Amino acid sequence: MPRALVTGAAGFIGSHLCQYLLDRGFSVVGMDNLITGDTANLQHLTGSDFVFVRHDVTNYINLEGPLDWIFHFASPASPIDYLRVPIQTLKVGSLGTHNSLGLAKAKRARFLLASTSEIYGDPLVHPQREDYWGNVNPVGPRGVYDEAKRFAEAMTMAYHRVHGVETRIIRIFNTFGPRMRLEDGRAIPAFFTQALRGEDVTVFGDGSQTRSLCYISDLVDGIFRLMSSDLTDPVNVGNPQELTIRQLAEKIVALTGSRSRIVNRPLPVDDPKVRQPDITRARALLGWEPRVSLDEGLPPTLEYFRKRLGL
């Protein structure tokens, strides 16, 4: 039985990844310090093949026994989080990545870094390809996340080149689905929560900024395909179907049947104006592309938020 470690296991993506691996015969160790994760996301993972370890990966990681794969997903991942804990965000991207790579080297394990479309910053190239170096403000409020992930990519490639560690880098674009946090701060949780409560749905700026939204089941399939491949260069995984934030808000208000008004608020500093992945590499080299459309993924996400809100 292959054995995998997932850091950030109690988070939205990490918990789905743990389930995916267990369904494919892996023994899984989930690790999280619960700074943004929630053990409720892991309660359904019962049995001897899953073990949860509460640990902060910015400290030395000691794990007994062999490891085949390490998925490094630990990090605050929404603006509301990394603006609240900026230093911890920088530390998990730097020290946490260093410690996780050190464990991969010691265990001779394959390592996958969960990077992000945010490494492209407020892009001047559209859609974003993996060979685009980005347009990031290193001293702005979002820089703590953007630069932490850019450093993590550099560290990952250094361990690959210097120590021969088998590494993979996935650049994850906006993802949605059940187990997103109510107070996540990102568009879909905010819009669903506000609409279901009958509150004003708040759109930052004029709502013309765009996002491309990938359903969680498609993302974890892409993660697994990349880890199973021999690709060491970064690969974008996301849904290239692009829409404006205003269009997304309108879809969610209509889907919930809410009478909420859509209101505008000032645009946050350095908020990206566009976000759309070029997934040519994922299609050609992994045989991957999204299967679940936004309209198919929103209803189960709505049901999750209804239950969380007790509606």
Catalytic residues: 145
Q: Are residues 93 and 84 in contact, defined by beta-carbon separation less than 8 angstroms? A: no
b/e per residue, 77-115, with b = 16+ CB within 10 A? bbbebbbeebebbbbbbbbbbbbbbebbeebebbbbbbb
304: phi then psi, degrees, rounded to nearest 5: -60, -45
Give the separation between CA 30 and CA 11, rounded to whole angstroms: 10
Dihedral sign computed on CA atoms, order 295, 301, 303, 306: negative
Q: Is 264 left (phi over 0), alpha (psi -120 to 50) or beta?
A: beta
Per the structure block, which two tokens stand in for 13? Answer: 């993506």
Question: Under 8 Å CB-to-CB from 41, ≥6 apart: which residues?
Answer: 10, 11, 12, 14, 15, 179
Give the separation between CA 282 and CA 122, rounded to whole angstroms: 22
Per the structure block, which two tokens stand in for 31? Answer: 């690790």
Using CB atoms within 10 Å of the CB of residue 299, give its burial: 0 to 12 exposed, 13 to 18 middle, 19+ buried: exposed
